[in-house]
């Protein structure tokens, strides 16, 4: 009834992407007209894909109404088959209606195949599969009634059985070709020469942890928060932190893509994978990054129709909602996508502080935060055309987001605030275009405009205590300092990312990138009298441009890969500066910098390889650092660009399948040797970015994992050690030469364990229990050479646990999952910054629907 499929490429020769993944032999022959060398033939054999074979089939139920009406049908399905041979998705490509589509899908999702293999490795695949519903012919009409002849005598024995009616249900003829997906985009990135770590979020989307927590569970990555959901957070990568790391959403700078409040507050259910580039950033991003970049990739699939929703509720009156949907009208190529999110929390978790007792003495007390609410929401609409003759992709995306946050206390959590607020709104549109001009040339571009509005208000006339009471009336408005603040800052941004790729010969590529960004900022403090000078009213402009070129060669049939590149940076800033005598003058500054780098990868096997990379990186100060944020970060008009020599050397085993299970590991050594390093320093109430003359960070990061046969148990762990020290011998920080840069963790680690079972209550369901832990070693807040060791301000060592129970079910193309999770299981006191306490034990529940 079911047939084994023969693998064929002939029906798909017009698709270059398919030829690359399905027909590596044909590609190798095209690359070497004179015939492949023995090494190339061996490599080609390793890349040859053997399609799956059907070993277990389930017959579809013939729809009752179709049977009664004697209808027949043929349904073509696109089956996604994982590396274990299980069908994970069945999508109707050619529908038949009348209930045939649903019946064929339900049956196909229960098929089992032998895994497709590339060389010796099982790989996920996509196949086209046709299912036919055929009825037996109608019986001939009964003859006219005639007198029945007398029955003939017969031998004794059983009555003969009447012929049974038969229904044909099975694969159609002719057989359908197999499309092998081979390595995913995430796998291709991992195995490229780029210094990148890829974090896939499929499991995280079912869990309740936010994007900051997901990032913090990776080696080399640290995330430090100033509170709960919506609070300020700083991400560090191999020692470098904050804006020394650049953030992107689908290649667009994150603050220009509608998420101006930071990467940790992007809803994880809107992100498909996270790409972490360690110190060496590809030219295509146009990034002036000092220590690396993080690119969030949203739903990159543009095929078919898909919708999803998630809803989360948790402790401290926390609610999170995401919605997304997409549709492609294949005959016209019209594509539309929408998504949205809404977050709300009171953040009223308990904290330990000191309050005045009845005798006026300070004594410890446990109180709830009373002015730490966070509200955020927004959405985007994307429309356009894909797969057209003159535009492989032409999409317009419009978005709007809004974030509002209450400010509970000062930088050290020593003074409570009761009415200080901060908010951001962002709106804009991006136009994306991609088109191959020939078989060897491709052009990709995105350009757009973003408007950002920020508000910071401190207008209270009350001084509050930690119980939320107004304890006395201030002589003037303002809780932070002895003046009122009512700031509004507007910023207009225009940007472009233009990339051109040329493949002059097989295994060789040249890529060029041009990325200008222009920002104009102005504002007003409404609390300043009209007859006084308001420094925010000055128009400030910043033009930053990055130009780059890179050459990639992959000799020995791709066993070796090397990317060499060069970059140039230009920044022009214009603003007004107030002189000591009160006069104003224009301040113009133009900065030129350059950089070079190289990335090398050598592959021992498909999943075992070594990488080395280097970049002399430059980072230009951004508007936030130069002009401040209009709130707690004040301006510094004299910042110099940062520069750093970044080095990586690592070894990766993606997977090794043995009788004892699947093993994986990664180890990477790194060095960052920075000059004019920009750090955010605090004076108690405000922050300001300043240059530190020089610093260096060296360290090692590693991860190790094991998955049992049958995927019942998985264990993973990671650790990072980094030594980040001041190397300035003169200047403001010269007296601290050799000290660790203060207020930075130097040792952190984590571990996770998961047990799961499947097909428990119904086919294709999964129940899993996951434990995770994270440890951070104690570190000093100030310079380690100052003061006695027993009097230093110390952020203590911390060990935090989380436990999650998840149940998921699949039906057809859809799925539903529910998670119950407890974070900070042991209710530890957690600090990322001195004195600023984070939430204790918190329980959350999350429901996710996929259609």
pLDDT confidence of residue 582: 53
Residues in CB range of 834: below 8 A, 6 or more apart: 412, 743, 781, 793, 794, 795
pLDDT confidence of residue 258: 86
The answer, yes or no, to whether residue 669 has pLDDT greater than 90, is yes
Whose tokens are 């910054």? That residue is 833
Least confident of 131-135, 213-217, 461-465: 131-135
pLDDT confidence of residue 186: 81
pLDDT confidence of residue 505: 87
pLDDT confidence of residue 684: 62
pLDDT higher for 330 or 136? 330
Overall pTM surpassing 0.85 (yes/no): no
Written as six digits, the tokens of 527 are 């609390």
For residues 401 and 259, the answer to whether their CB atoms sit within 8 Å is yes
Whose tokens are 């013939």? That residue is 62
The answer, yes or no, to whether residue 25 has pLDDT greater than 50, is no
Mean pLDDT of 97-115: 85
Cα 80 to the center of its chain, rounded Å = 23
Coil, helix or strand at residue 766: strand
Q: Write out 236-272 in H/E/C secondary structure.
A: EECCEEHHHEEEEECCEEHHHCCCCCCHHHCCHHHCC
What does the pLDDT look like over 264-318, one tens digit per residue? Answer: 888 998 999 999 999 999 999 998 899 899 999 987 777 788 899 999 999 999 9
pLDDT classification of 46: cutoffs 50, 70, 90: very low
Angle at the Cα of 765 (from 762 to 771), degrees rounded to 5? Answer: 140
Mean pLDDT of 124-133: 84
What letter does residue 624 receive in the DSSP assignment? H
pLDDT classification of 39: cutoffs 50, 70, 90: very low
Q: State the DSSP string of 418-437.
A: SS-EEEEEEEEEEEEEEEES
**Which helix (H) or strand (E) covers residue 452, if one does?**
strand 441-458
pLDDT classification of 125: cutoffs 50, 70, 90: confident
Task: Strands of 641-782 (E only): list them.
Answer: 642-658, 661-682, 687-707, 713-726, 747-758, 766-776, 779-780
Q: Write out 799-828 in H/E/C secondary structure.
A: EEEEEEEEEEEEECCEEEEEEEEEECCCCC
């Amino acid at each position: 009834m079911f047939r084994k499929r023969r693998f064929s490429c002939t029906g798909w020769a017009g698709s270059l992407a398919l030829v690359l993944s399905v027909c590596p032999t044909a590609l190798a022959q095209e690359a070497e007209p004179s015939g492949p060398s023995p090494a190339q033939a061996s490599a080609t054999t390793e890349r040859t894909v053997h399609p799956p074979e059907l070993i277990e089939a389930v017959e579809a139920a013939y729809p009752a109404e179709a049977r009664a009406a004697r209808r027949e049908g043929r349904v073509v399905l696109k089956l996604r088959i994982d590396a274990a041979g299980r069908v994970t998705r069945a999508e109707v490509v050619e529908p038949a209606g009348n209930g045939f589509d649903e019946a064929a899908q339900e049956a196909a999702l229960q098929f089992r195949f032998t895994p497709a293999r590339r060389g010796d490795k099982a790989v996920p695949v996509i196949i086209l599969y046709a299912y036919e519903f055929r009825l037996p012919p109608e019986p001939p009409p009964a003859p006219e009634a005639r007198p029945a002849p007398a029955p003939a005598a017969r031998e004794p024995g059983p009555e003969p059985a009447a012929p049974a009616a038969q229904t044909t249900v099975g694969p159609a003829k002719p057989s359908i070709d197999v499309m092998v997906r081979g390595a995913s985009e995430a796998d291709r990135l991992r195995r490229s020469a780029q210094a990148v770590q890829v974090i896939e979020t499929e499991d995280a989307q079912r869990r309740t942890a936010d994007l900051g927590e997901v990032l913090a569970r990776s080696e080399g990555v640290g995330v430090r928060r100033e509170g709960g959901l919506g609070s300020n957070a700083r991400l560090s990568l191999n020692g470098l932190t904050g804006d020394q790391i650049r953030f992107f959403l689908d290649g667009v700078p994150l603050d220009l893509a509608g998420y101006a409040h930071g990467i940790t507050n992007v809803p994880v259910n809107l992100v498909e994978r996270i790409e972490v580039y360690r110190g060496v950033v590809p030219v295509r991003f146009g990034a002036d990054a000092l220590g690396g970049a993080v690119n969030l990739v949203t739903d990159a699939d543009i095929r078919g129709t898909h919708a999803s929703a998630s809803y989360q509720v948790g402790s401290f009156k926390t609610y999170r909602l995401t919605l997304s949907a997409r549709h492609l009208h294949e005959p016209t190529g019209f594509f539309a996508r929408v998504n949205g999110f809404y977050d709300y929390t009171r953040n009223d978790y308990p904290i330990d502080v000191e309050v005045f007792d009845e005798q006026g003495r300070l004594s410890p007390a446990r109180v709830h935060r009373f002015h730490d609410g966070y509200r955020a929401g927004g959405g985007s609409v994307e429309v356009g055309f894909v797969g057209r003759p003159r535009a492989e992709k032409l999409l317009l995306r419009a978005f709007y987001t809004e974030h509002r946050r209450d400010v509970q206390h000062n930088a050290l959590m020593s003074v409570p605030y009761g009415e200080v607020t901060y908010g951001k709104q962002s709106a804009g549109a991006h136009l994306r275009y991609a088109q191959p001009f020939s078989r060897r040339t491709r052009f990709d571009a995105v350009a757009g405009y973003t408007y950002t509005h920020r508000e910071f208000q401190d207008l209270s006339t009350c001084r509050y205590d930690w119980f939320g009471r107004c304890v006395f009336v201030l002589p003037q408005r303002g809780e932070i300092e002895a003046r009122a603040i009512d700031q509004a800052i507007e910023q207009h941004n225009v940007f472009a990312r233009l990339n051109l790729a040329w493949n002059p010969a097989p295994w060789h590529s040249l890529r060029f990138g041009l990325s200008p960004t222009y920002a104009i900022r102005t504002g007003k403090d409404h609390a300043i009298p009209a007859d006084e000078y308001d420094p925010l009213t000055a128009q400030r402009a910043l033009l930053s441009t990055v130009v780059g070129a890179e050459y990639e060669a992959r000799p020995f049939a791709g066993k070796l890969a090397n990317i060499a590149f060069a970059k140039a940076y230009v920044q022009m800033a214009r603003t007004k500066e107030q002189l000591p005598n009160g006069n104003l003058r224009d301040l113009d500054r133009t900065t030129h910098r350059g950089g070079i780098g190289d990335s090398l990868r050598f592959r021992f096997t498909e999943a075992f390889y070594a990488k080395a990379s280097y970049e002399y990186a430059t980072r230009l100060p951004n508007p936030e650092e130069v002009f401040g944020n209009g709130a707690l970060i004040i301006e510094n008009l004299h910042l110099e660009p940062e520069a750093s020599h970044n080095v990586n050397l690592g070894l990766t085993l993606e997977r090794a399948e043995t009788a004892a299970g699947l093993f994986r590991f990664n180890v990477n050594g790194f060095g960052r040797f920075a000059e004019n390093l920009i750090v955010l320093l605090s004076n108690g109430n405000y922050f300001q970015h300043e240059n530190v003359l020089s610093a260096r960070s060296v360290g090692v990061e590693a991860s190790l994992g094991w998955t049992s046969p049958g995927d019942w148990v998985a264990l993973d762990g990671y650790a990072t050690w980094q030594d980040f020290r001041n190397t300035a011998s003169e200047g403001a920080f010269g007296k601290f030469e050799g000290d660790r840069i203060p207020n930075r963790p130097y040792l952190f680690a984590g571990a996770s364990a998961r047990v799961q079972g499947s097909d428990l209550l119904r086919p294709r369901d999964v129940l899993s229990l996951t434990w995770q832990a994270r440890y951070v070693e104690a570190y000093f807040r100030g310079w380690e050479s100052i003061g006695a060791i027993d009097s230093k301000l110390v952020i203590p060592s911390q060990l935090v646990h989380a436990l999650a129970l998840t149940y998921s079910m699949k039906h057809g193309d859809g799925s539903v999952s529910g998670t119950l999770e407890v974070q900070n299981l042991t209710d530890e006191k957690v600090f990322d910054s001195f004195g600023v306490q984070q939430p204790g034990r918190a329980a959350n529940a999350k429901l996710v629907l996929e259609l």
